[in-house]
Structure formats: C-alpha cells, structure tokens
C-alpha cells in the first residue's frame, strides 16, 4: 500500500480529464527524507506533492510522488506520463554515495611517475572542507579514506607537454597489462587521467578504446571529458569521483528512464546539474559527477526565476531544512558560480553554482561544550530517524525544532499539516539536559539556542557577501525550506536587510523541485589556453567561435531550436605570478582590441571587489588561462501566474474574503519583549493578494511556519509570496 503524501496541493484551476490537449512539465527532487514533485502546465498552473523517499530504491519514491500529483490532477499516472512534455529530475544518489563512501571499486590509470598524485593531494588535504570546530584540533587532522587505493593505481609510460606535443608515445603494452591487472582485481570502473591530457587527449582516448575492447560493459571515464583545465590533482580527483559514483548513478537513472517509458512517457528525462541547468540523461550517464550538489542548485535557480519576475536584481537565497542551511547569491540577475568543489575532504574541479552550507537546520543538535561550558548548536543533526525529541521517535537530545516548539513558534497539532503530532513534554525533557547544567530555564535555553543558530546563519551570509565585496543591505533575502520562515527575520535583521520573501507560501517547502522546473538545458564548453596580455582579439574570438559551434551542434542534436539557444562567454583571468583566478564575462561576436582592453579593466575592477582596493597586482601583467561558453537551450514553460481576487489562492483552498482574521492564539516567547505573550495565530492558506498583518504574529502553513516578530510587517503579493518587511 502506497504511503500517503505529507502534502498535496491543487492548482489554481481544474486541470482534469476534460482537457485532453493540456500538456505538463514535471520536476521531481529526491532528498534523503522526502521526495518532492511539482507539475506545471503551459498556462502557469501548478500542483505539487511531497512524499517519503525510498532509500532502498529511490525510483519508487520518484513515481509515488508523481502518482500523487496525477491523482490531484484527476489523472492516472500513465495518463500524466503520456501528457508530459518534459520530465526533469534532481537526484542525490551520487552525493549520497560520496558522503556514505559506498561507491564502486575504482581503478586508476595515469602517467608513469604520477600514481601518487591523488594520494598526496594538496597541502591542505588533511583539513579541506572541515568545519571550524574540527579545524581547531590540528593534531587530529588526517587525509580522507582513499577512493582508489594504491594497489588499484597503475602507471603507464607516456608524456604530452603543456603545448600538447607528444614527447613520449603511449606504451600500449603497458596500458594493456594495466587494464588486465585491474580487471583481475574486479574493478567496477576505470579512471584514465594523464598529464596534460586535456590539451591533447590522444593517449587518454587510446587507452579508453582498449578498455572498451577488453571490457565493453565497464564504466570508464577520461579526465579530458570532464575537465579541460590545469590542476593535476583536482582533475584526477574529479575523474576518480565520477567513476566512484558512476555505476550506482547510471543504474538508477536507467531504471527511472525505463519505468517512465513503460508508463507511456515519450518526453526525454532531463537531470539537474550543480551548474544550474538540466542535461539529457544520456549526458549524465557519462558524467554523473555534475549531479553532486544539484539539489541546492535547483533552489537557487528557482530564486532566479522568481527574482526576474519580481524585479529583484540582488538576492540572498537561504534554504533552511532539517540538516543544513544553504546560501547562494544572485547578483545583477545572475547566480554566482564557482569551478571548484570540496566534498569529503576531496577538492576537485566541477562547474557549479556557488553555494555554501553549514550544519544549521531544524534537526541540528543543541549541546554543551565541556571545555568552555558554553551552549553550542550543530553541526551534528538528529536526522530524520530518530529526529528531534519532539517527534516522539526515540530522540533524546534537544534540537532547534525542539527549541522552536518550546518557544511557541510551532503548533504541535499542525506540524506538517497535522500529519506529525509534536510531543512538547519530550522536547522539555530533552532541553533540560542542557538547561539544568547551565542554570537556565527551558525558555532561556531554547531562546539562547535559536539565537546561536541564527547568528551562525548570519555569519555564513556575511562570508558570502561582505567577504566578497557585497553589501547585504543591497539584497533581498529569499527564505525557503521547511524551517527558514521561523528564523529568517532574525538573520535578516542582523545583516540590516529590510525585505524577506518566503516564496509562494507552501511551495517554499518544495522549492528545489520548483527550481528544477524553472531551469533550462545547459552545457558548459571549455578550452584551456595560456593567453598573455596584451590579449590578441583574433585568437580569443577564434576559440570562442569554436566552442560556440560545438555548443550549437550539441543543442541542435538534443532538439533545441536555433532561436531558443543562448550562449554566454566567460574568461578565467589572473595576474601573473598569482594564483587567484576570476571569472569575467566576455561580449559576443567578433572581438576587437578595445574589447580586450575593456576585459582587462573589468578584471582589475572585479579583482579589487573581491580582494580589496589596491590589491590588483597590475605590474605583474595579466593572463587568461581558460575560456568558457555556457550554452542554454530554452525550455518552454508557463509564466508565473498571478492570483486574482476572483480565484483566490493558487493552493485550491476555500477563499476567505475580508480582513486577515486570526484563527486562534497561543503564548509565544518574544526575545524583543523579554516575555511570553498571547500571540494571534493566522492561517496562511486562502489569503488574497494585499493581505497584511503586524507582528507579533504566527502564520501557519501545512509545511512551514512564518514567525512575524514584534515590529515586523507581513504582506502577500500578487504571486502568492509572503513578504516580511523589517523596520
């Protein structure tokens, strides 16, 4: 028997069987705990569902949540699949394999004399990606468990220099023997990473062909297919990680494809990438690496889509879930990107949206540091099982969710729309384990813990803004995820931001799925070439035109019309003798000498924005190391639909005319007032555009709660967004 969803929401208008011509766009985002689905049509109507994930086979949860959405459209799952024009998916299978270190048995073939590069790592390998509390204990730093042990690394005689010239031909006999030995070791994947292979991949391609001849079904990756830039360790690490997660990810994606086709879906399966776009499944089968971190990228792209509609050029996107707090930036309408990732202490190259995370979610555990005797929050999380103590599933340690319940923010009878009853007594018992040793009341301990976690979130936002030369006061904060609405006003006020948007009300809880639905097909094409200033416009143009032709050819093969192709150019620049590379936009068309001078000036300006006025080392000269084309294939979709007074809320609940009246009250502790006061409780469902209220107040939605603090004002706009305005 299928588990009931925790939330299903009907669209603004009926989309049932009486409209057989209507087509749909479906997006499914699979998380460790819940699987979210958003289904839209060409007119901008939305319906979505949320159901438990199925870790034993995530494809079951994938189709279960689609079935729930179909049910609320008045359709069967096969009928929905038959009328689906685009099927889009964000998966955490690859990320989970890395975090749990449960991937494939990988063999590595590399240049003779360089077999230890991935084991040596960089000098920061022992501490890369560690949280601050672990960084403080230097004596305990150690390298991560090798993804490919030394006995599965084989070295082959070959050498290509930095110009791409073959100095030492590939020793085919050594290569064949290396493959045979790895196959005897029962490897499930082989990574091939040769020195300077990205400049001239002739040897990597030869070895790949040999592997395919000797083991046709084996998963194999060449480094040049993934990464086209210098960095021996980072490039090799990316290749090994791609192989480590490859077999498991490809099996899962193929299973979803096969089941979708069996249900009558003729639409291509598009997979979300960390770079902020989707790609056909066949591309991801080759490069599953690019799915790592794709969930948060979906949320940020949803913010970009909404920000474009609302006219917000600068946005701080904040996602507070059960385990983590994620932050990304939109500057001048575009999400900031990065080219390097650190996961499980492995640093590797991968184009991605620049999103930082900390362990500060609703399930973050509250504890006492024995050495300092002070209250701490996170990064350890109670997870989904047993979860916070108030879930009543055996958890005994206090969490942020327990603190929120104690303070009165949450309604124990209406958590997750009433599907989960919260146990206030269990929260009290758990909080006493930290309150009593510190001589605090339960309220004082809960308030102190929430303030700590809110300051941690504010500090992460400072890292993303102030430390990069941006003033957070110039930004609007978007707060989504189940827990963000309860805390966003505090970290926004700490940063002196005046506006917080909780996007689309209840849709905020499935925002990453909505973000996936709002993305386009995206591919990244790169060429590494050293170009020293003064830059030669003819050569730069030649490289870009070559990359753009490759981009157009691939998008056309994927069925994208020429007028739906959008190409963006970027150059990675740095000062000579320095290491910091900065990505600079480059204009289209045939470039001129003046364009090159403008590019150099833009680099100096961006460099000083990031690293401080006067930091630019212009006397050293400038150089380009990498040219990049980001190719987008526009996907047709409906506009973001406005609400109307006649139709009411887009959530399909009964409309309420007149003023926004409270549905009850309860005592809530307000830090600003220093005491508990009887606070009006409002329902967030069925609210018309222009509704407003003054804090203190609590607004309850099925899967999120908005805390309106004293002096703040909450309004609703024409698109169903809830907007907090801070004094």
User: Between 197 and 7, where is the model more confident?
Assistant: 197
Average pLDDT over residues 679-708: 89
Query: Taking 80 as the threshold, does the pLDDT of residue 558 lie above it?
Result: yes
**With helix as H, strand as E and coil as C, how does 614-656 read?**
CCCCHHHCEEEEEEEEEEEECCCCCCCCCCECCCECCCCCCCC
Confidence at residue 521, expressed as pLDDT on a 0 to 100 scale: 92
Res 10 pLDDT > 70: no
The DSSP string of 62-121 is HHHHHHHHHHHTT--HHHHHHTEEEEEEE--HHHHHHHHT----EEEEEETT-TTHHHH-
What is the separation of C-alpha 263 from the centre of its chain, rounded to a whole number of angstroms?
Answer: 29
- The position carrying tokens 């990316």 is 238
- Residue 640 is predicted with a pLDDT of 74
User: What's the CA gap between 38 and 25, in Å, rounded?
Assistant: 8
Band of the pLDDT at 213, cuts 50, 70, 90?
very high
- Cβ neighbour number for residue 245 with a 10 Å cutoff: 27
Task: Name the band, by pLDDT with cuts 50, 70 and 90, for residue 129.
Answer: low
Lowest mean pLDDT across 70-79, 97-106, 378-387, 392-401: 378-387
Residue 72 pLDDT greater than 90, yes or no: no
Model pLDDT, residue 688: 77
What are the tokens at 397?
A: 């340690």
pLDDT for 133 equals 61
pLDDT band at 131 (very low <50, low <70, confident <90, very high): low
Of 513, 515, 485, which is closest to residue 500 (Cα–Cα)?
485
| DSSP one-letter code for 415 | B
Q: Is the pLDDT of residue 8 over 60?
A: no
Query: What is the rounded distance in angstroms from the CA atom of residue 131 to the CA atom of residue 20?
Result: 53
Residue 15 pLDDT class (50, 70, 90 cuts):
very low
pLDDT at 284: 92
Q: Would you state the pLDDT for residue 32?
A: 65
Tens of pLDDT, residues 489-501: 999 999 999 999 9
- Mean pLDDT score of the chain: 88
- Residue 624: predicted pLDDT: 94
What pLDDT was estimated at residue 600?
Answer: 94
| Residue 649 pLDDT grade (very low, low, confident, very high; cuts 50, 70, 90) | very low
**pLDDT tier at 130, thresholds 50, 70, 90:** low
pLDDT band of 19, cuts 50, 70, 90: low
Give the tokens for residue 668.
């809530």
Mean pLDDT of 103-109: 96
Range from 352-356, 459-463, 565-569, 672-676 carrying the lowest mean pLDDT: 352-356
Query: Which residues have a Cβ under 8 Å from the Cβ of 211 and sit 6 or more positions away?
Result: 179, 190, 192, 218, 220
Backbone phi and psi for residue 637, each to the nearest 5 degrees, phi listed first? -155, 160
Query: Nearest Cα to 80, choosing from 69, 88, 89?
Result: 69
Which range has highest mean pLDDT (332-336, 374-378, 666-670)? 666-670
Task: Give the separation between CA 127 and CA 345, rounded to whole angstroms.
Answer: 7
By DSSP bridging, strand 325-331 and strand 334-335 are: antiparallel
Has residue 663 got a pLDDT over 50? yes
What was the pLDDT predicted at 36?
86
pLDDT recorded at residue 643: 65
CATH class label, 521-633? alpha beta
Region of poorest pLDDT, from 14-23, 98-107, 340-349, 462-471: 14-23
> Alpha-carbon distance 604 to 601, whole Å?
5
Among the ranges given (383-387, 577-581, 674-678), the one the predictor scored with the smallest mean pLDDT: 383-387
In CATH, the architecture of 100-244 is 3-Layer(aba) Sandwich (3.40)
Residues 6+ apart with CB under 8 A from 684: 505, 506, 699, 700, 701, 706, 722
pLDDT at 645 > cutoff 70: no
Q: Give the pLDDT of residue 92.
A: 84
Query: Which phi and psi (to 5°) does residue 425 adopt?
Result: -65, -40
CA distances from 37 to 94, 415, 459, 615 (A): 20, 20, 32, 47
Q: In this model, does residue 102 exceed pLDDT 50?
A: yes
- Res. 23 pLDDT band, cuts 50 70 90: confident
CATH superfamily of 7-96+251-291: ATPase, nucleotide binding domain (3.30.420.40)
What does the domain layout of the chain look like in residue ranges?
A: 7-96+251-291, 100-244, 364-453, 521-633
List, for residues 254-307, the tens digit of each pLDDT value: 999 999 999 999 999 999 999 999 999 999 999 999 998 888 899 999 999 999
Give residue 722's pLDDT. 94
Task: Give me the pLDDT at residue 46, please.
Answer: 85
Per DSSP, which regions of 103-207 are E strands? 106-111, 153-156, 159-160, 166-168, 189-193
pLDDT of the residue at 338: 84
Residue 7 host element (H or E):
strand 7-9
State the pLDDT at residue 667: 96
Three-class SS of residue 31? coil
pLDDT more than 70, % of the chain? 92
Mean pLDDT score, 44-54? 81
Using a pLDDT cut of 90, give the percent of the chain over it: 60
Provide the H-helix boundaries in 439-483: 442-464
pLDDT for the residue 404: 95
pLDDT at 42: 77
What pLDDT is attached to residue 651? 37
With beta carbons less than 8 A apart as the criterion, state whether 505 and 722 touch: yes
Highest-pLDDT range among 51-55, 131-135, 548-552: 548-552
188 token code pair:
């499930």
């Amino acid at each position: 028997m299928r588990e009931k969803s925790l939330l299903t929401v009907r669209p603004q208008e009926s989309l049932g069987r009486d409209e057989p011509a209507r087509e749909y766009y479906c997006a499914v985002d699979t998380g460790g705990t819940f699987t979210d689905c958003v289904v839209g049509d060409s007119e901008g109507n939305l319906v979505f569902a949320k159901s438990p994930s199925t870790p034993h086979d995530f494809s079951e949860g994938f189709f279960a949540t689609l079935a729930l959405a179909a049910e609320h459209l008045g359709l069967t799952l096969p009928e929905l699949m038959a009328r689906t024009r685009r099927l889009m998916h964000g998966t955490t299978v690859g990320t989970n394999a890395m975090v749990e270190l449960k991937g494939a048995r990988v063999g590595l073939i590399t240049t003779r004399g360089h077999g230890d590069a991935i084991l040596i790592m960089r000098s920061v390998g022992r501490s890369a990606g560690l949280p601050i509390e672990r960084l403080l204990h230097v004596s305990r730093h150690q390298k991560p468990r090798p993804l490919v042990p030394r006995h599965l690394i084989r070295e082959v005689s070959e050498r290509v220099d930095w110009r791409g010239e073959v100095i030492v031909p590939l020793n085919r006999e050594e290569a064949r023997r290396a493959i045979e030995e790895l196959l005897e070791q029962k490897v499930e994947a082989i990574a091939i990473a040769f020195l300077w292979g990205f400049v001239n991949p002739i040897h990597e391609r030869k070895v790949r062909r040999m592997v395919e001849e000797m083991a046709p079904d084996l998963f194999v990756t060449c480094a040049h297919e993934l990464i086209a830039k210098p960095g021996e360790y980072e490039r090799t690490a990316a290749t090994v990680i791609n192989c480590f997660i490859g077999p498991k990810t490809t099996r899962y994606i193929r299973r979803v494809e096969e089941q979708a086709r069996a249900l009558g879906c003729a639409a291509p399966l598009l997979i979300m990438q960390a770079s902020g776009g989707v790609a056909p499944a066949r591309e991801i089968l080759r490069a599953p690496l690019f799915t790592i971190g794709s969930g948060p990228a979906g949320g940020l792209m949803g913010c970009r889509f909404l920000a474009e509609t609302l006219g917000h050029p600068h946005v701080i996107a904040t996602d507070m879930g059960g385990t983590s707090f994620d932050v990304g930036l939109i500057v001048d309408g575009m999400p900031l990107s990065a080219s390097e990732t650190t996961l499980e202490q492995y640093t590797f190259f991968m184009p991605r949206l620049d999103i930082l995370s900390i362990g500060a979610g609703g399930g973050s555990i509250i504890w006492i540091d024995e050495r300092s005797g002070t209250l701490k929050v996170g990064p350890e999380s109670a997870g989904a099982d047993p979860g916070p103590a108030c879930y009543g599933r055996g958890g005994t340690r206090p969490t942020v969710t327990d603190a929120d319940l104690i303070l009165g923010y949450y309604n124990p009878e209406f958590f997750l729309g009433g599907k989960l009853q919260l146990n206030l007594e269990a929260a009290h018992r758990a909080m006493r384990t930290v309150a009593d040793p510190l001589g605090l009341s339960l309220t004082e301990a809960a308030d102190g813990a929430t303030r700590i976690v809110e300051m941690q979130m504010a500090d992460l936002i400072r890292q993303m803004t102030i430390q990069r030369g941006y003033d957070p006061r110039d930004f609007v904060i978007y707060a989504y995820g189940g827990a963000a609405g309860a805390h966003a006003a505090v970290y926004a006020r700490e940063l002196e931001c005046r506006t917080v948007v909780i996007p689309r009300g209840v849709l905020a809880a499935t925002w990453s799925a909505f973000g996936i639905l709002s993305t386009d097909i995206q591919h990244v094409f790169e060429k590494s070439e050293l170009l020293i200033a003064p830059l030669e416009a003819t050569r730069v143009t030649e490289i870009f035109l070559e990359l753009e032709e490759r981009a157009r050819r691939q998008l056309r093969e994927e069925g994208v019309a020429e007028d739906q192709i959008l190409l963006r150019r970027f150059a990675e620049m740095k000062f000579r003798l320095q290491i910091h590379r900065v990505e600079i936009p480059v204009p289209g068309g045939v470039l001129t000498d003046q364009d090159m001078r403008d590019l150099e000036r833009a680099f100096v300006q961006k460099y000083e924005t990031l690293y401080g006025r006067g930091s630019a080392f212009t006397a050293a000269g400038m150089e380009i190391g990498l040219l990049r084309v980001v190719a987008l294939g526009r996907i047709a979709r409906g506009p973001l639909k406005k609400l109307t007074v006649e139709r009411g809320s887009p959530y399909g609940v009964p409309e309420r005319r007149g003023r926004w009246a409270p549905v009850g009250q309860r005592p809530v502790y307000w830090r600003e007032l220093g005491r508990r006061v009887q606070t009006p409780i409002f329902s967030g469902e069925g609210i018309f555009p222009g509704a407003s209220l003054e804090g203190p107040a609590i607004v309850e939605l099925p899967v999120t709660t908005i805390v309106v603090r004293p002096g703040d004002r909450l309004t609703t706009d024409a698109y169903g967004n809830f907007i907090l305005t801070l004094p």
